[in-house]
Structure 1
Amino acid sequence: MTIRILIADDEALLRMAFGTVLDAQPDMAPVGEAANGEQAVRLARELRPDVVLMDVRMPGTDGIEATREVVRVSPRSRVLILTTFDLDEYAFAGLHAGASGFLLKNTRPEELLAAIRSVAAGDAVVSPRITRRLLETLRPHIPDGRGGARDDRLGRLSAREREVLVEVGRGLSNAEIAATLYLAEATVKSHLGRVLHKLELRDRIQAVVFAHENRLVHPV
């Protein structure tokens, strides 16, 4: 399968650099470039790319709002937020808007390619280790939900599925969850798949956000 990719960044040199790397891969094809969020949304609607590389800071419609709109107009397109450590609050906002993960702008080419392939296959690109670091950094920006009602979709989960969701929210990998709950890793993966389906979530990252917003995981 050829992964069709839309590149959204206001810096022409970066768009060219990303395009050069992607075009050299036999399983990838850059299908469009956008210099701002509005163009990204329009091209996502027209081209229906598999993956959108989305810069955060762009003129006009920024990458956060553009991500929200891309997910709406092209639900099958997966968005990777491009960010730097000093913009971590934007990374969380992007994940909450529907992105499937985030990449640092100075990521190595092989990491970029691996991330794109993972996202195109339906996985999140943020590893459990990075998830924990992300949560630690972004905890002040995650709504704690105090005083608000929990999402009704929680009632769809079995007790075991809820346990798995809690551990995912803590940033544990499938192997770590298996050891914690005394389950086979394949069983954990199956439970997680059902959790995502029942909660209507896109991927593991969205599950992490959901767990924290519904106070299943408490800051330490």
Structure 2
Amino acid sequence: MSSPPSPASGEGVIEETAAARVLIVDDHEVLASSLSRVLDDEPDLVSVGIAGTLERARAMIRTTAPDVVLLDHRLPDGDGVDAIAELRALRPSMKVVVLTATASDHVLVSAVEAGASGFVSKSRSLGELTSAVRAAASGEAVISPEMLARLLPRLHRSGRPGPTDLTEREREVLGLLAEGLSNAAIAEQLVVSVHTVRNHVANLSAKLGAHSKLEALSIAVREGLLPGG
């Protein structure tokens, strides 16, 4: 019996996007376990495990290759914010979202400068936490426009001239990102497609050596690329 013919290349094939892999780093077992179950119920997200300490997080990042890490600010063996740069060095493309109960602006600024993609309060619902993970996985900054406006002026400035190869449109997009606008909102304001905005964000991020919008903004402030910088 002959085998059925194979479909022509690309014909009848539905391309599926892999679910974003999420590591939860939190020593609050009830919250972490609940969030892990909620993530696994989402078609585009999957929990790769829970780490209750920074030591365990380091090991699990190496073995599970997460796309997003939900990182508690305070852990038994250290400060989560202080460890962001070290954890991201293990997997530079990984997004880090800091879980906070209460945190000063100084702590939040340190997190931004270390490369965090944003923050989410533990007081939020599990659904809101899941939405924050999804936003981070897609490259969005997980931060309110009000908090962004408050923190950006407090970021460190190097005093060195920044990159000069950003196009006029990329600089325009960068300025709108600094206002806390999403890709869709930027597309509407510039009267272009969301796909075009994503390309501009990707290009300017590559030029700045950033892996997320918030990191791009942090670098832009440091290098004096934003008005008032």
Shorter-chain TM range is 0.7 to 0.9
Task: In structure 2, give the amino acid aligned to 1:24.
Answer: D
1:1-220 aligned at under 5 Å gives the runs 1-120=18-137, 122-126=138-142, 130=144, 132-139=145-152, 141-145=154-158, 148-151=159-162, 154-174=163-183, 177=186, 182-186=190-194, 187-215=196-224, 216-218=226-228
Task: In structure 1, give the amino acid aligned to 2:86.
Answer: E
TM-score (norm 1): 0.80
Q: 2:74 aligns to what SS in structure 1?
A: coil
Q: Give, in angstroms, the shift of residue 140 of structure 1.
A: 6.0
Asked if the contact 2:178–2:217 (Cα under 8 Å) also holds between the matched residues in 1, the reply is: yes
Unmatched segments (≥5 aa) in structure 1 = none
Q: Give, in angstroms, the shift of residue 8 of structure 1.
A: 0.6
Question: What is the number of residues matched between the two proteins?
Answer: 210
Unmatched segments (≥5 aa) in structure 2 = 1-17
Q: 1:45 aligns to what SS in structure 2?
A: helix
Task: In structure 1, give the amino acid aligned to 2:55.
Answer: E
| Structure number with higher helix proportion | 1
Deviation by residue 1:122-146 (Cα, 9 ceiling, x = unmatched): 322426xx1x31234325631244x
Runs of 4+ residues deviating >6 angstroms: none
Q: Give, in angstroms, the shift of residue 178 of structure 1.
A: 5.3
Deviation by residue 1:133-192 (Cα, 9 ceiling, x = unmatched): 1234325631244xx2133xx222123322322332233444554576x55244444322
Task: In structure 2, give the amino acid aligned to 1:135.
Answer: L
Q: Give, in angstroms, the shift of residue 210 of structure 1.
A: 2.1
| Counterpart Cα distance in 1 of 2:63 and 2:147 | 33
| Counterpart Cα distance in 2 of 1:179 and 1:7 | 35
| Counterpart Cα distance in 1 of 2:161 and 2:89 | 24
| Counterpart Cα distance in 1 of 2:46 and 2:181 | 33
| Counterpart Cα distance in 2 of 1:198 and 1:211 | 11
RMSD: 2.6
| Counterpart Cα distance in 1 of 2:181 and 2:97 | 21
Deviation by residue 1:59-90 (Cα, 9 ceiling, x = unmatched): 33321233212211122332211113544432
Considering only CA atoms, is the larger Rg found in Structure 1 or Structure 2? 2
Asked if the contact 2:149–2:178 (Cα under 8 Å) also holds between the matched residues in 1, the reply is: no
